Structure 1
Amino acid sequence: MLAILAYSLTTGLSAFAWNWESFAVLRFVVGLAMGSEWATGTAMTAELWPDRHRGKGAGLMQCGLGMGFFVASLVWLFMSQTGEDAWRYMYLLGVLPGFVTLWMRRGIPESEQWERVNDKRKQTRARKRKGGELSAHEEVLSRFTLVDLFSVPALRRRTLIAVFMSLTTTLGWWGISTWVPPYIGSVAAHAGLPAARWASFAGMAYNVGAIAGYVGLGFLADAYGRKRVTFMFFLMAFLLTPVLFLWTHDIGLLLLVSAVTGFFSLGQYTWMPTWLPELYPTRIRGTAIAFCFNVPRLLAWSGPLVAGTLIARFGGYGHAAVTVGFIYLVGVALTPFLPETNGKRLPEDV
């Protein structure tokens, strides 16, 4: 709730930025809050849904991201006509998610699984402060969760693999996906069509595919396994990138191809809320998810800069996007090394 309030408020305040420095500071706080909210929401979703339907729950949760992007693209279709302050009006609308916290306070329970572990952790730490003797398991439970995450060899190995897989997805997002609307807008402009309108159409088409992909990966992962489906999404994202940016030239067909590409390139995000919670015990689940999600975000900010440099060097979007698209091969190579967890109970301890 605090995270949602924080990013809603600072998104709204971004509308009043008076220079690029103030804007950057506000967006930085938005990023902090969003990373916090996603990790917490992922852990809660995993702990509240039944084992054999956990992927479906993760997919339905993740599709909210695509729905938000779709609505933003739709609103921008009309808002872009309001003049040079149109972007400020868009950010001002960002305060609306804050109202969701009123419903969350009443309608969403805490995870019983987490509450049990949290109560035991509090009791263990209280006894440790009083000088009481702790068992080996209690010593583990009393540790700072980030230290605990890297103290167990099996968890450390999983974390390193998951971080690089997450980096693949995140860098693909910021280094490729963000360029789809301006790319299709530039194709439209070359054909004598309004660039801003077609960029909005592209954003909507891409995110229609993404919404289907978010939900689809979760349902497919429950049916065919986390490893097989995640591997397929990484591979298809790699193969479809040149189809979108190099080999499709008809403006109408571009929208269709962008939707199919969005299914795999954005839809692959659901592997994280589906698979990550099943790799870690309750005592460090939230920390592990946040680490695997946010460390790549700290690195992937370079994606748009790298892609922008490549666009300038290649003189267009196509070869730049395909070059960045080779990052998907990292995900293809690493996916087989995580354990299959489909249908299993969430680990309580390791």
Structure 2
Amino acid sequence: MDSGRMSTLAGNAAVPWYRTLSRRQWNVLLASNLGWLFDGFENYALILTAAPALKQLLPAASQPQLSFFVGLIMAINLLGWGIGGLLGGIAADYIGRKRMMMAAILGYSIMTGLSAFAFSWWSFAILRFLVGMTVGSEWAIGSSMVAEIWPDRARGKGAGLMQCGLGVGFFIASFAWLFLSPTGPSAWRYMYLLGVVPALLTLWIRRSVEESEVWKAMAKRRENAKLMVAEGGELAFPERQLARFTLVDLLSDRESFRTTCLVLLMSLATTVGFWSVSTWVPQFVGAVASSRGHDAASWASFAGMAYTAGSITGYVALGFLADALGRKPVTLGFYIGALAFTPLLFFGRHDPVWLLMLAFANAIFSNGQYTWMAVWLPELYPTRIRATAMAFVFNSPRFLAFVGPIVAGSLITALGGYGWAAMTLSSVYLIGVFAAPFLPETRGKPLPA
């Protein structure tokens, strides 16, 4: 379909949104979705296998502190994610979205495969840190590409469809673990060997995905600005911004700094909520099922699948609702929903089947709220710093949130169960409720140039 025809369709509000999209736009969505899907697989594989892996890798004297070490490994993985994600986002603003996406996918495929050969808890920790380093940058790159290439009218839907890849990855990891977990104490190693598969995706991306034209135009302007600086020329203000290091540009601009402070608070709420509360749901349901005489590993897998199905529903729903109702009210609604469903899950009826239904409902809001970042953030920052800003906002909270799993593991031990620990840490969603109203509504507006 030619560009004139696409423009005509895009301008006709009566035409369904999906008919206004070109093959190029669908390819970008598919690449971003699959990249995030494999990210989801890598990270949920850790959630499901950290305890079995550490049972094999920890010395006998450390086994009573298993919950602490599980939290420590998750925290180390999260710390690596924060560092790698920030560096990868900055690189994507300089060398391109497509090249960095390929580098990220190839990197985390290799590192995840190597995790299967860990021989001690500390070698496992180092490898999971490296996995986090390579996984972290993929989200900001994919979200930037979808935002820059999809039309204004459907940008929220595209972001929701991209974000649901994480949930699909979670589901595939849970499904794989259901069959691999009975194979013996080394089953966790097989899970990580499966993580090599995403490397094949880079071959398709190289051939079928085009670089963002918006980024290419900006990169040309940036190169010209740098040449003028090298030649001693005077730059106008917009060119001076292009010549700055992107992270300095992000934090030195007054308006961008205010916006960044607000979205950092919201990102912190979402991130701490997930890593401090949501990651313990499979173990919680498994423990309850075990107390009723059921197999803990199987029910942990069931819980993971139920939670993941809820996550996928939430990811897509937030994107579509944000296009229909606005970014601000929908994001606020998801924070409030997460606050409401956490006590229902951890303090409700302790029947395993009922817990699966509550896990599904809780995940719609607790995990589904992640889509606000893919939808809203690209619309708050100009192209020259978009990937840097998104990576900074998405990953910086991990430098604080990485202590969440450690605190959660300690609270579970100190308070004698999951319920009060989850309730204590879920209060972080209140930060998002208070910060979101101060951001501008951007539904249907063009991206900042």
Asked if Structure 1 and Structure 2 have the same fold, meaning a TM-score greater than 0.5 normalized by the shorter chain, the answer is yes
2:135 counterpart of 1:9: no
Cross-structure match for 1:89: 190
Give the superposition deviation at 1:37: 1.1
2:448 counterpart of 1:347: yes
**1:296 pairs with 378, 397, 404, which one?**
397
Give the superposition deviation at 1:15: 0.4
Cross-structure match for 2:278: 177
Cross-structure match for 1:212: 313
Q: AA paired with 1:231?
A: L
- CA–CA distance in structure 2, aligned partners of residues 98 and 296 of structure 1: 28
- Structure 1 consecutive aligned stretches of length 4 or more whose deviation exceeds 3 Å: none
Cross-structure match for 2:329: 228
Are the aligned partners of 1:187 and 1:251 in contact in 2 as well (CA < 8 Å)?
Answer: yes
2:377 counterpart of 1:276: yes
- CA–CA distance in structure 2, aligned partners of residues 313 and 187 of structure 1: 18
Deviation track 1:162-184 (CA, whole Å, cap 9, x = no partner) reads: 11110111111110001100000
Deviation track 1:105-133 (CA, whole Å, cap 9, x = no partner) reads: 11111111111001110111012112122
Give the superposition deviation at 1:314: 1.2
Cross-structure match for 1:37: 138
- CA–CA distance in structure 2, aligned partners of residues 339 and 99 of structure 1: 40
2:168 counterpart of 1:67: yes
Matches within 5 A, 1:255-266: 255-266=356-367
- CA–CA distance in structure 2, aligned partners of residues 73 and 184 of structure 1: 14
- CA–CA distance in structure 1, aligned partners of residues 165 and 246 of structure 2: 29
2:205 counterpart of 1:126: no
Deviation track 1:272-296 (CA, whole Å, cap 9, x = no partner) reads: 0100000000110010000001101
Q: Which moved more, 1:123-132 or 1:3-12?
A: 123-132
Q: Secondary structure at the match of 2:156?
A: helix
- CA–CA distance in structure 2, aligned partners of residues 248 and 107 of structure 1: 50
- CA–CA distance in structure 2, aligned partners of residues 55 and 243 of structure 1: 30
- CA–CA distance in structure 2, aligned partners of residues 29 and 157 of structure 1: 32
- CA–CA distance in structure 2, aligned partners of residues 321 and 5 of structure 1: 35
Cross-structure match for 1:254: 355
Give the superposition deviation at 1:20: 2.1
Cross-structure match for 1:322: 423
Give the superposition deviation at 1:21: 2.3
2:256 counterpart of 1:155: yes
Q: Secondary structure at the match of 1:150?
A: helix
Q: AA paired with 1:179?
A: W
Are the aligned partners of 1:35 and 1:293 in contact in 2 as well (CA < 8 Å)?
Answer: no
- TM-score in terms of structure 2 length: 0.77
Q: AA paired with 1:85?
A: S
- CA–CA distance in structure 1, aligned partners of residues 423 and 353 of structure 2: 21
Deviation track 1:295-344 (CA, whole Å, cap 9, x = no partner) reads: 01121111111111111111010111011110011111111011110100
Q: AA paired with 2:130?
A: V
Cross-structure match for 1:78: 179
Deviation track 1:166-222 (CA, whole Å, cap 9, x = no partner) reads: 011111111000110000001101111111100000000000000010111000000
Kindly report the root-mean-square deviation, in angstroms, between the aligned alpha carbons of the 2 structures. Answer: 0.8
Q: AA paired with 2:292?
A: A
- CA–CA distance in structure 2, aligned partners of residues 33 and 165 of structure 1: 24
Cross-structure match for 1:191: 292
Deviation track 1:207-265 (CA, whole Å, cap 9, x = no partner) reads: 00000101110000000000000000001001100000002322111111100111110
Are the aligned partners of 1:210 and 1:262 in contact in 2 as well (CA < 8 Å)?
Answer: yes
2:215 counterpart of 1:114: yes
Cross-structure match for 1:241: 342
2:247 counterpart of 1:141: no
Q: Which moved more, 1:24-33 or 1:36-45?
A: 24-33
Percentage of pairs with the same residue: 59
- CA–CA distance in structure 1, aligned partners of residues 129 and 144 of structure 2: 23
- CA–CA distance in structure 2, aligned partners of residues 123 and 45 of structure 1: 26
